Amino acid sequence: MSPYRLTRILPLDATGADLRTDVLQGLGRDPKSLPPKWFYDARGSELFEEITRLPEYYPTRAEREILLARAGQIAAATGARTLVELGSGSSEKTRILLDTLPDLHSYLPVDVSESALTGAAEALLAERPELNVHALIADFTRGLALPGTPGPRLVAFLGGTLGNLLPDERAVFLKSVRSLLQPGDALLLGTDLVKDQGTLVAAYDDAAGVTAAFDKNVLSVLNRELDADFDPDDFSHVARWDPAHEWIEMRLRARRALTVKVRELDLVVTFEAGEELRTEVSAKFREEGIRNELAAAAMELSHWWTDDTGRFALSLSTPA
């Protein structure tokens, strides 16, 4: 069996330090906000997996449909010998690519969760003992240096996660990805597309209330990690389409006036009745906009594929 390597780029205390900074800044501004990465503790990850199976939540199914239909074309266009996956998680969808890339030598999953990386690597190596897996514990939004592996490299950023970054953040992120690419390398990017408001809102506010539980889970994270005293029942889940920015916002709305203590930070936070805390932005895209954002980062969009109903897109781009 090929060796499994795990390299920690993210400092051991980085997650806790980032959480403290994000809470101090986010709960201290008006309007209040938190970045969506704090949803994903063990319980949050379980809830998100449940969300991906909901009838209203189409992105996971649509992206998988495209991968199944186009993996052969992706392999032919890239000839990749190394696959780098940013935000790899369980690496489930990546298996479609791994099965299709005939000359693949190395797989580099990148994630902040050591347990997710190790679990996915063990499952992959049980199926593909010849594969070289080098996992990186890292925050890909901070910039990234990759270990030496054979080219061409295919960098995959799937799931529509690009939409969780604000425009300025996307610009910085795409430029950092471009810095990883050598001539012959490529970026495979998953993006959710603009569509009717009803479909979009339903995907983030399902009838069973799973997304509401996922949204409120961030409060449980703050209670556990920062000794806060949020009561999730004091908040309602809200999903709203912003047509001007073409993104979905998830928010938690205070049901009454209340005061919350975050003891670890010696912080007292007040909410007025009806005041909202923004917990996620999920931007939706159009082909022209993606092409322009990639061009601004010195990349050229060469292939554009959508699912049968045009809900979701995968694009392949190369250094300009």
State the CATH number of the domain containing residue 108: 3.40.50.150
Q: For each of the chain's 320 residues, which pLDDT tens digit applies?
A: 466 777 877 666 667 888 999 999 999 999 999 999 888 887 888 899 899 999 999 999 999 999 999 999 999 999 999 999 998 666 677 889 888 998 898 888 888 777 777 777 788 888 888 888 888 888 887 777 888 888 899 999 999 999 999 999 999 999 999 999 999 999 999 999 999 999 999 999 999 999 999 999 999 999 999 999 999 999 999 999 999 999 999 999 999 999 999 999 999 999 999 999 999 999 999 999 999 999 999 999 999 999 999 999 999 999 99
Instruction: Kindly provide the b/e burial profile for residues 73-96, where b requires at least 16 CB atoms within 10 angstroms of the residue's own CB.
Output: ebbebbebbbbbbbbbbbbebbbb
Look at the chain and report how many structural domains it folds into: 1
Q: Which residues pair with 303 in a beta bridge?
A: 316
- What's the pTM value of the predicted model, to 2 decimals? 0.92
Residues in contact with 316: Cβ distance below 8 Å, sequence separation at least 6, in sequence order: 74, 77, 78, 186, 187, 188, 189, 301, 302, 303
Residue 42 domain boundaries: 1-320
